[in-house]
Structure 1
Amino acid sequence: MTKSLDAHYRAVVVGGGQAGLSASHYLQKLGIDHVVFEKNTVAHKWKNERWDAFCLVTPNWQCQLPDHAYDGTDPNGFMVKEEILAYVDRFVKKVNAPVFEGTSVTSLEKVGNLFRIQSSAGSVTADSVILATSLYSQPFVPRAGERLPEGITQIHTADYRNPAQLPEGAVIVVGSGQSGCQIAEDLHLAGRKVHMVTGNAPRCARFYRGRDVVDWLADVGQYDITIGHDGMAKKKHDTNHYLTGRDGGRDIDLRKFALEGMALYGRMTGVSNGKMLFQPDLKSNLDGADRVYNGINALIDRHIAEKGIDAPEGSPYVPLWEPEAETTELDLAAEGITSVIWATGFTPDWSYVGLPIFDGTGYPVQHRGVTGVEGVYVLGLPWLWTWGSGRFLSVGKDAHHVVDHLAAHLDRTRRPLKQMANG
């Protein structure tokens, strides 16, 4: 670990998660002096923002960090929390990045041909900067939470660990994305009464026609499609499909949960007088999720037919349950609700970046991690380049490309660098 700051670095990496560490790996291979600033600890989110029953939703074989591919005995399984932490910890030790932990970056600005980075450990200049802080910096909780009755426990998914941490009583989970659905299942399996507030999150089958859907999609080439393809630009804002790797992997079907006693609602619109209010769009939300589910399976059907693959027969999903009526308000006290879990996502924190690299929505404008400001790069964003850009699958490939480009930038502006090895 780095003990003291130099005045100048050829590169500064902001963020010590999987993206920042991947960048450091390739920077070290080129001998580019650099420092990594991490406001918490390396791999903080994996260590401190995952619940006890957390597991991967993609097969272990998709864990492809740089020079650190999964080499365990169950490539088609799904690592549980302890196994993921061990995998990440081995990567952290292998990279041995020059990282300053507990160090926040408070400003980034351009001064002449250099960049000035002010951090809680001091100020440095750099020839280049890689922003690897992801879109998940700050847990987002709607302001409606301020109007919930006193005495109701409120936590974000980042702070949820297990059902036992919540007071006795019913729980309402707001948000049906990947984390929300898995936590709702965790509570449901523990015998808690769960109320689930849905949104427009899509869903995906776990297994179809004899194989994991992820394996089929890899064969089809879905993980190689780039954001540059027609109609793909909007993908960067898409919600992840919900499914799970728990207990060997299975679908998450909210309709099945409803048959088992889970209460479902449309999108939340607010809180008033002890009641949570909803849009009458539950059926639309469920139908939309199933439409994506069946669409993915139809894509696999076409692939099997075109390639003449011998596989078990498949069929479209048929809804197991339909809402009889749309509930638009819920009396929290009457339903015995004592806890609310906000599965409402995160917001990025780019407040320290004083550079013109953002679009009108505050999202970095970039092409495969390269921004419009020469020498400034971003890494680790969902759909930075492909479906796997924000995950173990492809973050290393993105980091390799970014560092390759960064090296060429340094070569043009300062002393030459040795060529990066292919890989």
Structure 2
Amino acid sequence: MTTHRTTVAIVGGGQAGLAASWFLGRDGVDHVVLEAGTAGHEWADTRWDNFTLVTPNWHCRLPGYEYAGPDPDGFMTRDEVVRWLAGYAPTFGPPLREHTRVTSLTQRAEGGFLVEAEGPEGAEAWEVEQVVVATGGYHVPVVPAWAPALDPTVDQLHSADYKSASRLRPGGVLVVGSGQSGAQIAEDLHLEGRQVHLAIGDAPRVARFHRGRDCMTWLAEMGLYDTPVASYPGGLAAREKTNHYVTGRDGGRDIDLRQFAAEGMRLYGRLEAGAGTELTIAPTLRDALDSADDVYRSICRDIDAHIEAQGLDVAPAEAYRPVWEPETDPTGLDLDAEGITTIIWAIGYRPDYRWVRAGVFDGTGRPTHTRGVSAVAGLHFLGLPWMHTWGSGRFLGIAADAEHVTGVITGRDDRSIERAADLAGRRSPGPLNTSAAVA
């Protein structure tokens, strides 16, 4: 095994790991970025062919690098995101080692850490003083424990493996989960003319546009994405919330499941169990639709309040009115009777940090930390959803999180969210004035 020495090892070469490298490079800190595949490969590997961002392009800002295309309020496709992110590393030349998969991280008795990996030339080890784990929070796709009991003639795949309607067998498709991936995959299949069945959970929704502007632009200016998680109602429990569903397809629009249903999509409540071709469904459809609409309206009201408080002269509000109501609340579904040949599980991921040998994880396997800094000296995390704010884990919030973590590493004074936002070139938000945080 070849042994190397450096000051900091960054595990993961996605946008979070590269952002940390940018700051460490700026501050003259020796480090290495270890990436199992190629930098940013997740965007190409785990998004479907017609994927688009749900956040406006102007959100795409990393330290020293930002979207500079012709449509800042539009939504890049998967391939455009891949190309944009691929242009980042060449702007500053990070010490990036691709195709180097970290297999273990342990504390050394004499101090620091030993990072072991498999690289292009075989096994290697890195003796380092500090580590930044920037592998994100989505590692192992979740499927129900009873999924193997379903009829084997029905294909099953996770949302991470879905690419297009044309790659699926003919027949109906059941999408399970109505978070961002589930709702957008259901939309993709629906637009391709497939018979879609969608089992929805408790995901909220948000308007794409309100009063002449994108809702996410309004919320950014209201300061929502920069508010620390501890300041939200329920505090750290906000990390468990599902993101609102919306789409960037065709220039961006609402995802209205009621409209899809009016056009022929079949909607169901929460999927509870199954065996063979029979599925059991909780009668939660009506409540789930109403709850998602309530959040939609709540966010619009918060934006209205912000507009009024700022005295802005913008387009008038338009109230949402439901276009469809379920006649029944189904409690079962027969896959064979409905001609369903494929199930797509879009119910999330679980973390997998078994390679990190340190006592910093809670009972669910998630790292415990304060703004990315763990209780083990020198061990840090970056790129987690809700790591510090709602913007964490998104392009919009990475600069602030990365500067804070690297500031702890170097021991210099933290330059604050506002300073990191300036470095990323992002517009400064106004004061927080919204209850959308609880949505």
TM-score per shorter chain, which class?
over 0.9
Given candidates 22, 26, 45, the residue that maps to 1:25 is 22
2:146 and 2:92 mapped to 1: Cα distance? 43
Structure 2 letter corresponding to 1:389: S
Runs of at least 4 residues off by over 3 Å: none
Residue in structure 1 matched with residue 342 of structure 2 by the alignment: 339
Give yes or no for the alignment of 1:37 onto 2:30: no
Find the partner of 2:237 among 228, 234, 252. 234
C-alpha distance in 1 between matches for 2:21 and 2:275: 49
State yes or no: 1:312 paired with 2:315: yes
AA paired with 2:16? A
Pair 1:65 & 2:62 matched:
yes
1:297 to 289, 295, 300: 300
2:3·2:125 contact (CA, 8 Å) conserved in 1? no
* Partner-residue secondary structure (3-state), 1:123: strand
3-state SS in 1 of match to 2:356: coil
CA shift at 1:267, angstroms?
0.7
- Contact kept, 8 Å, 2:174 with 2:344, in 1: the verdict is yes
Shift in Å, 1:262? 0.4
CA distance in 2, matches of 1:163, 1:95: 39
Deviation at 1:290, TM superposition (A): 0.9
Residue 353 of structure 1 pairs with residue 356 of structure 2: yes
Whole-angstrom CA distance in 2 between matches of 1:84 and 1:10: 31
Does residue 105 (structure 1) correspond to residue 102 (structure 2)? The answer is: yes
1:12 pairs with 9, 12, 20, which one?
Answer: 9
What is the aligned partner in structure 2 of residue 117 from structure 1? 115
In the alignment of these two chains, the number of paired residues is 409
Structure 2: segments with no counterpart, 5+ residues: 413-419, 424-439
In the alignment, is residue 167 of structure 1 matched against residue 157 of structure 2?
no
Q: Match of 2:437?
A: none
What do residues 235-292 of structure 1 show as CA deviations (whole Å, max 9, x unaligned)?
A: 2111111001110100001011010000001111111231121111111111111111
* Shift in CA distance, 153/96, structure 1 to aligned 2, threshold 3 Å: farther
Cα distance in 2 for partners of 1:38, 1:277 equals 42
> Is contact 2:3–2:127 with CA below 8 Å preserved after alignment?
no
Matches of 2:181 and 2:59, distance apart in 1: 19
Query: Which deviates the most, 46-55 or 110-119?
Result: 110-119
Query: Quick check: 1:13–1:37 contact (8 Å CA) kept in 2?
Result: yes
Residue 147 of structure 2: which of 140, 145, 148 is its match? 145
The reply to whether residue 367 of structure 1 matches residue 370 of structure 2 is yes
> Alpha-carbon deviation of 1:5?
5.9
Contact 1:65–1:392, Cα closer than 8 Å, also in 2: yes
Which structure 1 segments of 5+ residues have no match? Answer: 410-419
Q: Match of 1:220? A: 222
Structure 1 vs Structure 2 CA RMSD: 1.7
Range with greater deviation from structure 2 (293-302 or 340-349):
340-349
* Equivalent residues of 1:297, 1:316 under 8 A apart: no
TM superposition shift of 1:313 = 2.1
Kindly provide the CA deviation profile for residues 40-59 of structure 1, in whole angstroms up to 9, marking residues without a partner as x.
22212112111111111111
Q: Answer yes or no: is 1:247 the counterpart of 2:245.
A: no
Q: Distance in 2 between matches of 1:30 and 1:7?
A: 21
- Cα contact 1:108–1:117 (8 A) shared by 2: yes
* Conservation of the 8 A alpha-carbon contact between 1:38 and 1:104: yes
Q: Could you tell me whether the CA contact under 8 Å between 2:352 and 2:365 is conserved in 1?
A: no
Q: Which residue of the partner structure matches residue 179 of structure 1?
A: 181
Does 2:381 align with 1:381? Answer: no
